[in-house]
Structure formats: C-alpha cells, structure tokens
Structure 1
Amino acid sequence: MDRGKDSNRDANGGLAEATASRLRFDSDEEAGEVEMEVERPDAEGEEEQAAAEVIGSDKTSADYYFDSYSHFGIHEEMLKDIVRTKTYQNVITQSSFLIKDKIVLDVGAGTGILSLFCAKAGAKHVYAIECSQMADMANEIVKANGYSNVITVIKGKVEEIELPVPKVDVIISEWMGYFLLFENMLNTVLYARDKWLTDDGVVLPDRASLHLTAIEDAEYKEDKIEFWNNVYGFDMSCIKKQAMMEPLVDTVDANQIVTNCRLLKTMDISKMTPGDASFTVPFKLTAQRNDYIHALVAYFDVSFTKCHKLMGFSTGPRSKATHWKQTVLYLEDVITICEGETLTGSMTVAPNKNNPRDIDIKLKYSINGHRCQVSRTQFYKMR
C-alpha cells in the first residue's frame, strides 16, 4: 500500500482543494507579540485602493464556498494539470482546421486559457463566458496578451446572457467534474449547444465515458471509516454511516486493483440530452486474483473524435494522474473474492433533487462465491 500515511485524501468530494488552498491564506496568525505601527494619514486610503485592485478581495470564506471559481487557487491547480491542459492545447493547435476562421464559444472560461489557445490558432472570434469573478481577471489576461480584438469575455451565466452573434461554429469547454458529472456543468454545455451551435458545428470534447473497477483498500478504510467505532474510548459509529455515504476523491494505486475495469456509460456530447446524465447501468467485475474488495472506484475518459487523429485522456488509476484523481466508494462489506469470480450489480446516478450540482448514487452489488456470499444496496451522495 503506497497511500495511507502520506496520502492527502479528499473526503469532501468537490471543492475541498479550493477550500484547502483558501484556508492556507485565511487561517489565523499564530499568537505572539506584535509590534505596533503608527499609520500615516493616507495609509488607510492606499490600503483600500490596493484591496480594490485585487479582484474578489471583498469576498469571505463563505462567499468562496458558493463562488469557489473566483479564487485563483483552483485555477492554478487546473492549469498545472498537464494532462488536462496540454491535451486541450494539442487538440486546438494540432487540429487547427477545427478552429481557424471559426467563431468559438468557450463555456466556463475561467482564466481564459482555452480562449487564448483558440485565438492563437486563428479563431475569427472567441466568446468566453465565465459567471464567477474570475471573468474580470480573464478580461485583464486577454488585454495583457494582446487578444482584445479576438476574445470577448462575457461575465454571467450561460442561461442568462445573450451573445452578440446568433450562432457559433465551435463550443469548447472543460466541464468535467469529479465522477465526471459532479457540479452538473454538462447541462450548461448542452444548453449552449442547443441555443447557439450551428447545425454542422463541433463540440470539444465530444465524447466522455465513465468506468468502474474494484480495489483492495484495507489500510485506508480502517483509517477513515472504522476509526469512528472507537474514538478515545467513545463510540462515534453514527458518523461512520455518514462517512460511508460520501465518496472520496483520491489517487488510487494501480496495484490495488483486484478486478477488470468495465465501461459504465458513454456520452456523446454532440447528441445527448440533459436527461441522459441520469442513468441506471449494470456492471460485472471479474476478479483477476484472490484478494479482498473494500471499495469500488469510478473514473472517466474524455475524447476529441473530430481531430485528424483520435485525441483525449483518461483519469483512470493506470494513467498519469490528473487533478480529478478517482472516486472511491467504500462498501459496507469486506468481500473475499477468488480469481475468476464475479461481483455483479448496478449503479444509478442522478443529480440531487434539492441541489442539482450534487450527485446521488445508488449502488447494488452481489457475489455468490466460494468464500463470500453478499447482496446489498448502498447510497452515496457527492456534495
């Protein structure tokens, strides 16, 4: 086991990394002796002016929770994800025929990096839509790089703004969340597609697929789940139930994989409807060795099929790590499985009714093996 003690695992699903980066800045200073300084008469005014120049500086930690993408930390993490960012760059530069002299719509533009790639590749015009405060920063970035005549940053929600043009030739977006669908940005891309994309237009990326496998993870399950059974001599097992329901986002070691990997769902972004993001699919996982199963692991692949050659990337445990990592769903049972035996079941995925950006997952699984017979249904919520 390579994880465990040194692992930085995320038990909170979606926005933990952005929150963590904020906490490093928001934490109280250590108590200590502080030397008093005498303020100059104009010092207060200078400080106010400096603060005003920092976009979103008036936001509190609570504001960031609801508008996390205003904070630069999460954008830094995504930009430094080489697999993610270089793939988009390669798609745009190596298949410039998709972009050159075309009108491009960048949905959820963030810092505007994809818009900049498109402008550099010869796009006729790029409309970059960003609903967070980062839109103001993106506008400054566009100006600083000399693309104000090609890129127009529009601040607002896709569902509420109007474009200066009736149609676009290309929609590009990095909409994928943890477990592919967390944060539900896919529906925003589909809305933009239906409203603005020409009949022969292109969506980048245009394919996404969700996959499932099973792992042995005794050490970490003991540390994160069973821990609540005895906390300094007290029974806190009521928290254990909550911990089991929240999938973890983490990097899984390929050596932990016990079964084959199975395709759960493929999505064609060019043709699918919003309702296709809710589904129930069966699965059958076959053990490749004698071992225990403590959790199922979901990951996704993304493809750009309109390029000269197929391009894309995988977030699976056998691929180079990305900021999406993988999604770990712990099982109530410790399953003993022998090589060749199968774990079968089904997974139901749907947006949460109260908060569509959250995901509800219903997992049914069963095994009828030589050493283990189990049949159970579990529920999870990514939030």
Structure 2
Amino acid sequence: MSVEEEDCPPLLETCAGERGNEDDDSDGWDEMEVSGEQTTCLFCPLQFHTIAVALDHCRSDHNFDLLSLKAKYDMDCYSYIKMINYIRLQKPHPKILTESSVALWEDDVYLKPGDMETWLMYDFDDLGSAPSTPHYAIDGKAPISNLSFSDLQRQIQELTIQLKHKDMLLENCHKDMEHMRKVTKTIVDSGDSLNKKIPNNVISSGCDSSDYFNSYSHFGIHHDMLNDAVRTEGYRDAIYKNIKMFAGKIVLDVGCGTGILSMFSARAGAEKVIGVDQSEVLYKAMDIIRENNLQDKIHLIKGQLERVNLPEDKVDIIISEWMGYFLLFEGMLDSVIHARDTFLKPDGLILPNRCNISIVGVDDIDRYNKVVNFWDDVYGFSMKCMKSEVLREAFVEIVPPEKVITNSVILTEIDIRTCDVNACIFSSTFTLSAHKDGMLTAIAGYFDTFFDLETEVRFSTGPHATRTHWQQTLFYLPDTIVVKKGDRLEGTVSCTRLTKNVRGLSVTITIGKNKYHYSLD
C-alpha cells in the first residue's frame, strides 16, 4: 500500500465507493463518486438527475419559480434551508408559498436538520447568477471542492442525530411491549376470567398513547363540553331536526368521547352507529351505552382512527365534534378527513360540513394591564423581560361584547366535504374598521360552525354569541393602537402548523409595518 493510501481517512474511501483497478492511471482523487441519489420534486414524487432540471419542472408544472421567490422575500441561504425543511414538513400547495404576503418558513425551528437530500446541498447564493450550476452534474459526478471534508463531517453529524432518534424510537417500542406484557399478566392473574372478559364491542388499536388523547381521559373536560349548551344542543338539533336523514343509516362518530353524538344518532333511527375514540373515556362510554340500552345499535372501538378496522367498509354519515380553540388548535380535522376519504360513501354526509374563522378588534385596556403590563412592577420588582414571552402566547378567554371595537372579518372558510389536511395553512388579508373611538389592545379569533341540511343549524363562538367552552382566542398586541371611529386597519393573518407539535399552530399577524408572532401549543 502506498503512503498516500495509508494517509487517506477511511471515511473518504467509503464515500468514494469501490476503488478502481490498481493498474488504473488515475490516482482516484480528482473526482469522487457521490451516491447518485436523484432529486425528488418539492411538490410531487417525480425525480430528476439534477437540481437544475428539478427547478425547471417546479417552474413549468407547479408555477413555483424559486428565483422569483428569492427576490420577493430577499432570501439568503438560511431562508432557503428553512423553506426546504418547511415544504418537506408541512407539504403545502405551491400556491400557498407563492401567493403568501409573508415567508411562512421564518420560524427558526425549520433550521433544525431533517433528512439529508440534494436540495439542501444546492448553493442557493448562486441562483440567478450566470452560469448557475448545481452541485450535482448530469453524469453523477461532483468535484471534491463541492464535497469537502467539512461537508462530510456535517453529514456524519446529521446521520448520527438521525440514528440516535431511531434508537430512541426503538427503546420506546421495547418499553411499550413490556407494558403490554404486564397488562396481559394482570388480566390473566385477576381471577375469574369468565367474569372479566374485554367487551366484544371494543377493539383496541394497540397504538401509542399521547398527551393529547390522555387529556381527554379527564372527565372534567367532558363535563365542560356536555355542559356547553351551544355545542351540544347544536349537534342535537342538527340530528333531531333532520331525523329522516338518519333513519336506517350507518353512522361513524369520530372522537366519540362519552358517546353523546352516537346516542343522538341512534335515537334518530340510525341502523348502526360506530364510535371511535383513543382515550380511556371510551370504557365509560361503554357503560353509558349499556345504561341507555343502546348496545345493540352502538359499537365502540378504542384506538386511533387511522389504524383501526371498522365493522363496515363504508358509512352513510360521519359526525364529529372535532373543533379546537381558534377552530384548528388541537382539532381532529386530519382524522375527520381520513375518515371521509376512507370510509364515507360517495353520496354520504359529513356533519358539520362547513366552518370558518373570523377576527375582530378588541379594546380592553384593563385586561391588557393585567396580562401584559402586570410585568412592569411585580411587588416592586421589574419583570419586563417576561413580556416578550407572554406576548408570543395566544390566550383563550371570553371577550365581553362591549369590548369589541371593530367589525368582524372572515379569514378562511373550510368545506369539510372537500378540504385537505393543508386547510390549517393559510394566509389572509383583512381590513378592520373601528366603529368607535378607543384603544386596540388585541385581535380576537373565533369560529362559526354550519350544518347545511334540509333544516339548517349553525352556531358561533364569537363575542356576540352565547358563551361556549371554546371562548375566543386572544392575540395581545405588543404596542396598543389608538383608533378613531371610521379608522381602517389593514393587515394579514398567516397560520401554519408548529413543527414540534403538529396539533399546535403558529400564527403571524401583520398590521401595517408591524409583524407579530404567536403560538398555540
């Protein structure tokens, strides 16, 4: 072996692939073989030999012009990396990116390393220069300068992080299996097995539990929801006032909880009702169903909807109370969409079938002082540094009707019969008109729900409607705005999912030249 080969780090020999014949005139160092991994389109499964060809495809087939986007948002290489990670994580329609008035990927969470791919190897700073050359050539070769030792070290670091993540998942899997063994042993050892059978109308999916589903195991939450007359009577009226639409039908109740919607449907004449819920409250729902002698009509399944098998291939009606704060926070819209696409007959009903999100301007300086200015003097100590963190959070509370200072504006409409999982990603402009003099201290968000049936039913969670357990979602402004009657405030609200919590939301509100970021987590 030559001195050169002895000094060569083994890693580079691995990356270069198999070495050629020893008789080859080349010393093997002018070029390095790369993996030859093709570039997958940002918006569809097609693959291309180079970034350049992929960019042309995105521009011609998806109307996504990266060069125009670079100029529009004055993007640098860091913004480009965040955009690629945002697209891979959120999977937005390209129209959302090109027509948004703000860069939706500004959050630094999108700088965290994900799966390595050729898009992240592209020299974004060269985009628009002449010539603009991607790192990967047509023949699958890359110059050593473009695949430097520091690049290799970075790739190793990122792969190590991914490996640790996989190890963590594997460890969690082993823990879950051990837990299942203990539960099984407890059942076997518990005595008379004939009197302790697991009810045959419950199927456990075996999927991992989560904080989200565990939260719905607390019965106080169900008390609050059932005690919400606007919510519960809204669903009851939609079913009972359209009773002939339920007669003889098969109904799927997504996230059935205590089973109230399932029982409404059964009483309305449904032939069979299937209730699915992943939380532990389902076992109490079984008792409730038996207490009301509806066990022959209502079949309960414990598990995550996306992983369970239903006793029916298709259903006539899907009903679900899936809405969360600001409509989309911790909502189950993704599960409802999966149920619709998987189990609903082509001519089936989905209830509710439509929702929208609206905002109004709020003037409540007393509440603002308690929430925000409180930190100026806390028992004689200044804690102003806390304000920035407080102002990044959205608050869920009641807005007194007399504190509303502007008209309401609808930000987005969601047709649950046709929408997809990107319904929570939107950007909407608004114009709020002050109907009296005052001080704008916050923007309040709320939603309306519609059952577009023969006898229509709807309810609102807005400040002027009867109070609901959803209340309103308050976005307090760092700088209050003095307004006069007739003043118009123009801006934009952009919403997307949080990376660290897919059930959470990131909301950006722009008013004039000021931009404010909030999270619902």
242 and 66 in structure 1: CA distance in 2 versus 1, 3 angstrom threshold: farther
State how far apart, in whole Å, the 2-side matches of 1:290 and 1:94 are. 44
Report the equivalent of 2:479: 333
Structure 2 residue identity aligned to 1:210: I
Report the equivalent of 2:357: 210
Is 2:495 aligned against 1:380? no
- Structure 1 residue 95, shift from structure 2 partner: 0.1
Aligned residues: 314
Equivalent residue for 2:504, pick from 330, 345, 358: 358
Report the equivalent of 2:413: 266
Report the equivalent of 2:427: 280
8 Å contact from structure 2 (residues 241, 455) kept in 1: no
Report the equivalent of 1:312: 458
Report the equivalent of 2:374: 227
- Structure 1 residue 336, shift from structure 2 partner: 0.7
The percentage of aligned residue pairs carrying the same residue is: 39
Which structure's residues are more often strand, by fraction? Answer: 1
Q: Which has the higher contact order (CA 8 A, sep 6+)?
A: 1
Query: What's the TM-score, normalizing by structure 2?
Result: 0.59
Is 2:317 aligned against 1:170? yes
8 Å contact from structure 2 (residues 238, 455) kept in 1: no
Deviations 1:155-174 (CA, angstroms, capped at 9, x unpaired): 00011101011100000000
Report the equivalent of 1:77: 224
User: Which secondary structure does the structure 1 equivalent of 2:307 belong to?
Assistant: coil
8 Å contact from structure 1 (residues 184, 351) kept in 2: no
State how far apart, in whole Å, the 1-side matches of 2:335 and 2:385 are. 37
8 Å contact from structure 1 (residues 64, 71) kept in 2: no
State how far apart, in whole Å, the 2-side matches of 1:153 and 1:66 are. 16
Structure 2 residue identity aligned to 1:334: T
- Structure 1 residue 225, shift from structure 2 partner: 0.9
8 Å contact from structure 1 (residues 349, 360) kept in 2: yes
Is 2:340 aligned against 1:193? yes
User: Which secondary structure does the structure 1 equivalent of 2:306 belong to?
Assistant: coil
Report the equivalent of 2:64: none
8 Å contact from structure 1 (residues 168, 198) kept in 2: yes
User: Which secondary structure does the structure 2 equivalent of 1:221 belong to?
Assistant: helix
State how far apart, in whole Å, the 2-side matches of 1:157 and 1:202 are. 22
Is 2:264 aligned against 1:117? yes
Is 2:346 aligned against 1:346? no
Is 2:392 aligned against 1:245? yes
- Structure 1 residue 309, shift from structure 2 partner: 2.6
- Structure 1 residue 99, shift from structure 2 partner: 1.2
State how far apart, in whole Å, the 1-side matches of 2:520 and 2:303 are. 26
Report the equivalent of 1:9: none
172 and 66 in structure 1: CA distance in 2 versus 1, 3 angstrom threshold: closer
State how far apart, in whole Å, the 1-side matches of 2:380 and 2:241 are. 61
Report the equivalent of 1:300: 447
User: Which secondary structure does the structure 2 equivalent of 1:227 belong to?
Assistant: helix
8 Å contact from structure 1 (residues 64, 70) kept in 2: no
State how far apart, in whole Å, the 2-side matches of 1:65 and 1:156 are. 13
Report the equivalent of 1:291: 438
State how far apart, in whole Å, the 1-side matches of 2:215 and 2:395 are. 19
8 Å contact from structure 1 (residues 244, 331) kept in 2: yes
State how far apart, in whole Å, the 2-side matches of 1:71 and 1:259 are. 38
Structure 1 residue identity aligned to 2:401: A
State how far apart, in whole Å, the 2-side matches of 1:361 and 1:338 are. 27
Which structure's residues are more often helix, by fraction? Answer: 2
Deviations 1:266-298 (CA, angstroms, capped at 9, x unpaired): 100001111122100101001111111000011
Structure 2 residue identity aligned to 1:277: C
8 Å contact from structure 1 (residues 347, 361) kept in 2: yes
8 Å contact from structure 1 (residues 184, 356) kept in 2: no
State how far apart, in whole Å, the 2-side matches of 1:266 and 1:159 are. 25
State how far apart, in whole Å, the 2-side matches of 1:64 and 1:297 are. 27
State how far apart, in whole Å, the 1-side matches of 2:331 and 2:289 are. 27
4+ aligned runs moved over 3 Å, structure 1: 63-66
User: Which secondary structure does the structure 1 equivalent of 2:464 belong to?
Assistant: coil
Is 2:331 aligned against 1:184? yes
Is 2:469 aligned against 1:323? yes
8 Å contact from structure 1 (residues 280, 347) kept in 2: yes
Deviations 1:138-193 (CA, angstroms, capped at 9, x unpaired): 11111111111100000000111010111000000000101000103111100110
In structure 2, stretches of 5+ residues that fail to align are 1-209
Structure 2 residue identity aligned to 1:316: G
Calculate the aligned-residue CA RMSD, in Å.
1.5
Structure 2 residue identity aligned to 1:108: G
State how far apart, in whole Å, the 2-side matches of 1:249 and 1:90 are. 27
Deviations 1:39-93 (CA, angstroms, capped at 9, x unpaired): xxxxxxxxxxxxxxxxxxxxxxxx8776110011000010010011011111111
Structure 2 residue identity aligned to 1:376: N
Query: What's the TM-score, normalizing by structure 1?
Result: 0.80
Structure 2 residue identity aligned to 1:216: D
User: Which secondary structure does the structure 2 equivalent of 1:222 belong to?
Assistant: helix
Structure 1 residue identity aligned to 2:468: T
State how far apart, in whole Å, the 2-side matches of 1:92 and 1:66 are. 26
User: Which secondary structure does the structure 2 equivalent of 1:231 belong to?
Assistant: coil
Structure 2 residue identity aligned to 1:246: E
Is 2:241 aligned against 1:94? yes
User: Which secondary structure does the structure 2 equivalent of 1:322 belong to?
Assistant: coil
State how far apart, in whole Å, the 2-side matches of 1:140 and 1:278 are. 39
